[in-house]
Structure 1
Amino acid sequence: MFEFFASLHWGAVAQIVVIDILLGGDNAVVIALACRNLPAQQRVRGVLWGTAGAILLRVVLIAFAVLLLDVPLLKFAGGVLLLWIGVRLMAPAEDAHENVKPADKLWEAVKTIVIADAVMSLDNVIAIAGAAEQADPGHRIALVIFGLLVSIPIIVWGSTLVLKLLDRFPIFITFGAALLGWIAGGLMVNDPAGDRWPLLDTPAAIYGASVAGALFVVIAGYVLKKRRTASSATHSR
């Protein structure tokens, strides 16, 4: 056990926890919406069983994602998707929870949570798989599971506190979006399809791509957010 913790890439663990907290707010809202019509004595069980099912499914999805990232051009595609996810984090779209119906039976609520979480977790899956790339190949799945086990309780029981913190200090969202851009840049430049160009495998190229990804997400997200704010102000007149 001690050897496992000693061999962990703690930087990647920290990134996984931050990513899951920032991108897990929607999932916490889904859990609350799905369980709100359950009898009081069943709500805790609904949250626990739904969360357990969602974690299990997410681990399976991430395991597949980690393996598939070795296929040429998939890292590049994942990086492009992560750039979009980072921009979306800075400039969120309209409310996406309208279709989540509250359930009045325990297993209906659990099913709703698991299905909704699977649909909404593509961003988490790609981002966490990208963060796990930094670790030794033999430790990646264990790293993902450990990161999820650390962050899920924070999401489920601390989501209100986290949301208040993000509302009060929006700079954390910018840092989180920049982190996603940083991971995206590293993923794209490390794609196996680029192995024919040794220059891409240098620390300068990897660092430069990571910085470029972070800057792109922050600038594009800021511009998109300003446009949406201006558009909303125009429509409200």
Structure 2
Amino acid sequence: MEWLSDPVFWMALMQIIAIDILLGGDNAVVIALACRHLPEEQRRRAIAGGVAGAILLRIALLFFAMQLLALPYLKLVGAALLLWIGVKLLLPEDEQAHEVRAGASFFAAIKTIIIADAVMSLDNVLAVAGAAGGNLVLVSLGVLISIPIIVWGSQLVLKLMDRYPQVVLVGGGLLGWIAGGMAVTDIAVASWIPNEAWSKHLAAAFGAALVMGTGLLLRTRASAVVD
């Protein structure tokens, strides 16, 4: 228990808490988007299921995150998945019906959450593992601390979506932003792209615009069909 009096330990723990707050918001947005059409009584169960899936994924990824991130094309595939999920979650309810049954399907919502979390958790796990410096106690605390952050964050975003429907579009844009930034950091394409911060931001902005633009286009088309 010497680590209790070790200032390096507490400094690393503060870094991990900051990482969980900064990166856990992405997971909270995905959970809120996937659960927004569920009946009120099913939302808490879906959030619990989504959080449980996210935490189990992070624990599993801790063992081989570095090796996974070194695989070429993995981030490109992950980025494509996030773009698809972002657009799907912006679809009008009637167009979601065949995939998530207007969001009313409890298990469909959890499936969407887990797929998105599997893609987004790699960077989170890598950041926590780096800050922990191989300390198993710190890694475990990082996973535990992320649980309330994701739960409370998803509940807050859900309330915002209920009150301000425009937040749904912003949430979809966030997934596109993550996807764009992830794609250009894949080792298969990184050598072709200028190693500048602006290139990643430009790709992220393109991803956000792609998801939001596609979502708005599909919504407009669906409204025109109904009219």
TM normalised by structure 2 equals 0.67
* Distance (whole Å) between structure 2 residues aligned to residue 48 and residue 222 of structure 1: 26
Distance apart, 1:163 and its partner CA = 3.2
For 1:148-227, what aligned pairs fall within 5 Å after superposition?
148-155=147-154, 158=155, 162-197=157-192, 199-227=193-221
Letter aligned with residue 151 of structure 1 = I
2:27 paired residue number: 20
For residue 151 of structure 1, report the CA deviation from its aligned partner.
1.3
Q: Residues 136, 170 of structure 1: CA spacing in aligned structure 2 closer, same or farther, 3 A cutoff?
A: same
Using the TM superposition, give the Cα deviation of residue 31 of structure 1 relative to its aligned residue in structure 2, in angstroms: 10
Gaps of 5+ in 1: 36-45, 101-112
Tell me whether 1:126 sits opposite 2:119 in the alignment: yes
Q: Deviations over 1:192-223 (max 9, x none)?
A: 112432x3422221121111111111111111
In 2 relative to 1, CA 11–151 (structure 1 residues): closer, same or farther, beyond 3 Å?
same
Give distance in 1, aligned partners of 2:19 and 2:42.
33
Alignment partner of 1:8 is 2:16:
yes
What secondary structure is seen at the aligned counterpart in 2 of 1:227?
A: helix
Structure 1 residues 65 and 173: alpha-carbon distance in aligned structure 2, compared to 1, 3 A threshold: farther
Gaps of 5+ in 2: 1-8, 133-138
1:166 maps to amino acid? M
CA distance in 1, matches of 2:198, 2:206: 12
8 A contact 2:35–2:46 mirrored in 1 = no
User: Identity over aligned residues, as a percent?
Assistant: 25
Give the C-alpha shift of residue 49 in structure 1.
Answer: 8.8
Contact 1:8–1:139, Cα closer than 8 Å, also in 2 = yes
Q: How many residues align?
A: 203
Tell me, yes or no, if the aligned pair for 2:180 and 2:204 is still in contact at 8 Å. yes
Q: What is the rounded CA distance, in whole Å, between the counterparts of 2:59 and 2:40 in structure 1?
A: 20
RMSD after superposition: 4.0
State whether residues 91 and 215 of structure 2, in contact with CA within 8 Å, keep that contact through their aligned partners in structure 1: yes
Query: In structure 2, what is the Cα distance between the partners aligned to 1:177 and 1:98?
Result: 19
**2: distance between equivalents of 1:49 and 1:184?**
25
- 1:109-156 per-residue CA deviation (whole Å, 9 max, x = no partner) reads xxxx8x9845751112213435x288375248665654344112554x
Q: Alpha carbons of 1:89 and 1:48: their partners in 2 closer, same or farther (altered >3 Å)?
A: closer
TM-superposition CA deviations, 1:139-181 (whole Å, max 9, x none): 48665654344112554xx4xx643420221232222222211
Deviations 1:4-24 (A, max 9, x none): 24323836633422x233222
Distance 2:196 2:205 in 1: 14
Equivalent position of 2:135 in the other structure: none
1:83 matched residue in structure 2 = 83
